[in-house]
Structure 1
């Protein structure tokens, strides 16, 4: 392997690499870039020479990314997005426009709350350039810490010394039931009714999935099958297709429920917790303040059972997010409770 000479890297090479990854072929990338195929091939070869490793496996006209190519693409994609934003900001400065507003939100919240909150803002508060990134909660935090985003909306847990939490909301999860299912005729879905059913839900074991698994275990419910996904909208689509009953957070379900599904409350409270975030010590603009208030108003109007937590009450929040911790002297009450019982 040759020694890397990264001083030779240029944006044309990175653009060519990103285009090949998107198109899946040199020919497709050349068409995307408006370049000739030999020129695009040469840019990729020069990039590999500078890096000192191959980005693609080659088998005749077919190519596929190497493991190093996949990893490198993650970095290049972030860089190219940043460069595009820098260009946009430079143009905005030249025109005297307001600074672009960068929002990072989890998919559920970018679908369920963000659009209506933005629609509530006065036109003069919206800059000409507005970027909404749909990211995992972990990547929302990373974007805020890197100052790549001005404001974040994400599910909990989120505890980081570089992040300010402005408010925390809670709303119970709901069951999304195909309209033709017998359960659709019920006003409420009992967790016991899900025994022997296919349950569709979230995959991340450190967030909502853990609370759903706890609820099923406490009720002694054994599903026939579990299907998990990283997006609530995908869970809803699979429930609509008749694959099972989806247990999802309420933001996506109440904000964009597909036709053919009905939403029903569960007889146990499976809390979905989320909050609004910004980098610590970064002043909030008038746009951010208004957007933060609008998000809370939309959540209160749209999400059944919505309530606010005080971000400063860390013990209460920890119990709600992680589940109450049992002690040697007395067991603490569980965070997941029957509807109507004390929490």
Structure 2
């Protein structure tokens, strides 16, 4: 008969899963690295399965470790009650969100307000960061839920799309190209163009569209956000091909907005951890976002999310 695992061993399991390294887990628990390694080895011996694989300097939890960690929620909730903390109390479970500036300022801020009104006492924090920063925050367990328009990949993260939209071309309302109902790459050949910075994955995709059509717009400015692109387009600097969500929501008398073809689809996604269970608050906020997106009035440039993009949370 195997010895029964200790609570301390389970604490080490959870700390290593959320931290990714023995060093970070030791710092979080206030014990030495050798102690973490010893307790982890004891737990693997006690439960009789391999819990971690080492890859690229990090410890990747096995499927058995993820399942075991999920079953520990009730144990640690019970311990919290004994310590005088109610884990179901919204005040004890702050919801930590992160998103790039465009989604954070133009989309999430309003949803945060309505969510807090519907859930009195629920603490919500929102920080803005780059898409790469979003991945590191999920891995380090400093956020519960992320939002992104980028196509990110990471073993510790899953993207769950909740909204799709196609690219549009924006320009000043009196720009000569505003007479076109649809903008194609050929129309943009030689035109003054406001581009996103080269570090953006979307920039690479759009450059490929232009290359396939054998056209070359004249880049007059490079910007980091769609907000900046619209500001320059409104001032008559040039045209920009951007994602309209969530920037182009209502008619703007100062700019002309035209569909861009060939169809260039963007996906707005939740970013969630694959190694930690979602909190109640995170699940509730995901539902809140999905309902808001479905009920919102849509422009002609947005695509209604199919049923398989809506997650049951």
The TM-score by the shorter chain falls in which range? 0.5 to 0.7
| 1:117-266 paired onto structure 2 within 5 Å | 117-121=111-115, 123-125=117-119, 127=121, 129-167=123-161, 169-255=163-249, 260-266=254-260
**C-alpha separation in 2, matches of 1:113 and 1:308:** 21
3-state DSSP class of the match of 1:183?
helix
Q: Deviations over 1:7-40 (max 9, x none)?
A: xxxxxxxxxxxxxxxxxxxxxxxxxxxxxxxxxx
Structure with more contact order per residue of length (Cα contacts < 8 Å, sep ≥ 6): 2
- Whether contact under 8 Å (1:168, 1:309) holds in the other structure is no
Deviation, 1:107, is 2.1
| Uncovered stretches (5+) of structure 2, i.e. residues with no partner | 1-84
- C-alpha spacing 1:164/1:209, structure 2 compared with 1 (3 Å): same
Higher deviation after alignment, 153-162 or 235-244: 153-162
1:307 deviation in Å? 3.4
C-alpha separation in 2, matches of 1:228 and 1:299: 30
**1:269–1:114 distance in 2 versus 1, CA, 3 Å:** same
The structural deviation recorded for 1:142 is 0.9
CA drift of 1:182 comes to 2.4
Equivalent-residue separation in structure 1 for 2:179 and 2:211 (angstroms): 25
TM-score (norm 2): 0.61
Q: CA RMSD in A?
A: 3.0
**CA drift at 1:189:** 2.0
Match of 1:304 in 2: 302
Closer, same or farther: CA 292–210 of 1 in aligned 2, 3 Å: same
For the 8 Å contact 2:162–2:290, the answer to whether it is kept is no
What residue number does 1:101 align with? 95
Provide the rounded CA distance (Å) in 1 between the counterparts of 2:286 and 2:270.
Answer: 7
Displacement of 1:119 in angstroms is 4.5
- Local SS of the residue matching 1:180: coil
Structure 1 pair 292–257 and aligned structure 2 pair: CA distance change class (3 A)? farther
Distance 1:204 1:275 in 2: 22
1:154-196 deviation line (CA, Å, top 9, x unaligned): 1232221211333354321111111111222333223222111
Contact 1:167 1:308 in 2 (8 A): no
The two structures have a TM-score, normalised by structure 1, of 0.56
Change over 3 Å in CA distance of 1:241–1:105 after alignment to 2 = same
Q: How has the CA–CA distance of structure 1 residues 235 and 180 changed in structure 2, closer, same or farther, with 3 Å as cutoff?
A: same
Matches within 5 A, 1:28-43: none
Deviation at 1:128, TM superposition (A): 5.1
1-structure distance, mates of 2:211, 2:291: 34
Partners of 1:135 and 1:259 in 2: how far apart? 31
